[in-house]
Chains A and B, each alone.
With several copies, the nearest count.
Chain A
Amino acid sequence: MSGLVVDFSLDLPGFRLSVAERFAPHGLTVVFGPSGSGKSSLLRVIAGLEGGAEGSVCFNGQTWQGPGRHVAPHRRAIGYVFQEARLFAHLSVAGNLAYAERRARKAGRVPDRAAIVAALGLDGLLTRRPSGLSGGEAQRVAMARALMSAPRLLLMDEPLSALDDAAKGAILPYIEAIRDGMQVPVIYVTHSVSEVARLAHHIVMLEAGQVRRAGPAQDILSDPAAAPAFGIRAAGSVLRAEVLAHHDDGLSELAVAGGRLLVPGFAAAIGTRVRVRIAAQDVILSRQRPEGLSALNLLEGELTDVRRGQGPGVMVRLRMGPEQDVLARITQRSARALSLAPGQRCFAVIKSLSIAPLDVGGSGSD
């Protein structure tokens, strides 16, 4: 029985967290939910830090917690990035990293120190004391330290919250590499929709201590019903794609159901299967093929449903192929003006640049 399976409840004064969930054995699961919904507590239970949790936690067939059994946190081979940095004040940055590395090596796991230090941009900071770090620097060190323990399960609690986009852009590929390359399942708490969109294979949505929805990222992000939870702007669809070509003008061409997509160039061999996320927000619909627009991408599909939410928008679903939908969020007024109805053929107009590199993820393994 591989992967992480939890089934527990935890009572805190005035708050009850109750989760029964099977986490995918690989890939990255985003835990998403409002402030105070129990995300950090869930990670703490998985790590074995909440003595009061009742129930079971199993990882790759090993019972970490169960009736009469509690594997101590230090035997779980996890990496935990806490919401606050929690660096060791008595050690330098290098000392903090070495602390993790030494224990990982003793347990036979070998972290790639140079790669981690480079990915997190810590070269200039190694001799610093934690008290002399800025907020974002401390957060990067904390993340590096967790990675240095070469964990078999990575728990990350808003690891990028104190970082600017440039730093995120430098770190995210590394997290993706872990997610895809090292077969280390990652459980990742974030409030950032772009991180969800970019990283998540799976999503667990918590609300008031309960799982409200859980499933593959693709399903949840393209489910209009789930959209409000992420903020309507996060809604979108994920299409399976294959790399067809890389062009000189910096665009890459992908084959998807319903047509071709030009997206900002990225590194992947021709033929690689990738996933592309298209935000519902960024899609314009047209009944006939539009001409003379700057937008390069035009996908044709069958309109399957038009769904009203609150506010002035509606969510329109175009089917490009089996399980390959594109969502478009447009105004009711437009929907009326175009007399949209299920069964029609429609064009989705998508700017290449709105499919920013952030939204081009690896194919994952599921």
Chain B
Amino acid sequence: MWSEGAGFPDLTPLWLTIRLAGISVVILLIVGTPLAWWLAQTKSRLKVAVEAITALPLVLPPTVLGFYLLVLLSPNSMLGGAWRDVTGTALTFTFTGLVVASVLYSLPFTVQPLQASFEAIGRHPMEAAATLGAGPTDRFFTVATPLALRGYLTAMVLSFAHTLGEFGVVLMVGGNIPGQTKVISIAIYEQVETLEYAQAHLLSAILLGISFVVLVAVYAANRRFPVHAG
């Protein structure tokens, strides 16, 4: 069964995936950072509930979450309708929709490690920065962020890898449209489903290879510029 010759696979889904994962990670960091920071700082009673809600997208099977997102983002819905009115485009079956879905689905992988590492910093370095004249934004970027680098690393690796591999949500919301929403995970899935095993192995190998190289590079960089805990 492993013997079939395979033409070189179409790599469009790969580039699409990398774009999706890249954009998602950037948005996740932008959205997740303030949320994680708030969670790490707040003494509000809401905190526990928000923490729990942040983890909930994980609990639903991806396809099911995808189904609910499909309903939620559809132009027939309030949200999707409003989006269409404003931008003129739909959220479902578009790349934008994929990004929205990925972000929602991977949010816990960004927020949780960030929050943990923000909490680990404690208030001492931030107080020191404040007495040196650094305002909240300033010290967030110049003290909290570098000290939480390990958390950012974890967050990025988990969300990037998860976005690469995730396909249930994306399949549902994106509709598997070649060149637009057909990401590599769907492509491999499809090949396995249609018994194109050789093609599937090849694409998987490419995906794993690229991921491995990226991950090694990221970890090696982290190793070179560590923050000494003591």
Contact = CB atoms under 8 A, between A and B. Distances in A.
B128 A80 contact: yes
A131 B228 contact: yes
A73 interface: yes
B11 interface: no
By DSSP majority rule, is chain B's interface helix, strand, loop, or mixed? Answer: helix
B179 interface: no
Nearest to A109: B133
A274 B18 CA distance: 74
Among B128, B129, B133, the most chain A Cβ lie within 10 Å of the Cβ of B133
A72 interface: yes
A129 B143 CA distance: 15
B125 interface: yes
Contacts of A104: 133
B77 interface: no
Contact of B125 (A86, A107, A129, A149): A86
7 contacts: A74-B130, A74-B131, A74-B133, A80-B128, A89-B227, A103-B138, A149-B132
Given A99-B142, A131-B228, A131-B230, A80 B131 contact: yes
Contacts of B21: none
Nearest to B124: A86
Interface residues of B, number: 23
B71 interface: no
A49 interface: yes
Given A74-B133, A84-B124, A89-B125, 5 more contacts: A79-B131, A88-B128, A89-B228, A103-B132, A146-B132
A49 B130 contact: yes
A100 B132 contact: yes
A82 B124 CA distance: 10
Nearest to A142: B128
Given A89-B229, A104-B133, A73 B127 contact: yes
B227 A90 contact: yes
B186 interface: no
Interface in B114-153: 124-125, 127-136, 138-139, 142-143, 146-147, 149
A107 B133 contact: yes
Contacts of B229: 89
A238 to B, nearest CB: 32
Contact of B133 (A84, A87, A90, A100): A100
A75 B139 CA distance: 13
A153 to B, nearest CB: 11
A55 to B, nearest CB: 20
Contacts of B125: 86, 88-89
Nearest to A129: B228
B76 to A, nearest CB: 48
Interface residues of A, number: 32
A285 interface: no
A184 to B, nearest CB: 14
Nearest 3 CB-CB pairs, A to B?
A: A103-B133, A80-B131, A131-B228
A48 B132 CA distance: 13
Given A88-B125, A90-B146, A129-B228, A72 B131 contact: no
B130 A73 contact: yes
Contacts of A79: 131-132
Contacts of A47: 131
Contacts of A155: 131
A77 interface: yes
Interface string A39-76: 00000000111000000000000000000000011111
Interface string A305-340: 000000000000000000000000000000000000
Most A Cβ at <10 Å: residue of B129, B136, B146: B129
B147 A89 contact: yes
A78 interface: yes
B135 A99 contact: no
A73 B227 contact: no
Contacts of B143: 88, 90
A170 B134 CA distance: 30
A90 B147 contact: yes
A103 B134 contact: yes
Contacts of B149: 90
Contacts of B133: 74, 77, 100, 103-104, 106-107, 149
Contacts of A78: 131
A145 interface: yes
A364 to B, nearest CB: 26
B135 A72 contact: yes
A103 B136 CA distance: 13
Given A86-B124, A89-B227, A131-B230, A99 B147 contact: no
A87 B124 CA distance: 9
User: Which of A88, A90, A155 has the most chain B CB atoms closer than 10 A to its own CB?
Assistant: A90
Nearest to A79: B131
A155 B132 CA distance: 12
Nearest to B133: A103
A206 B228 CA distance: 28
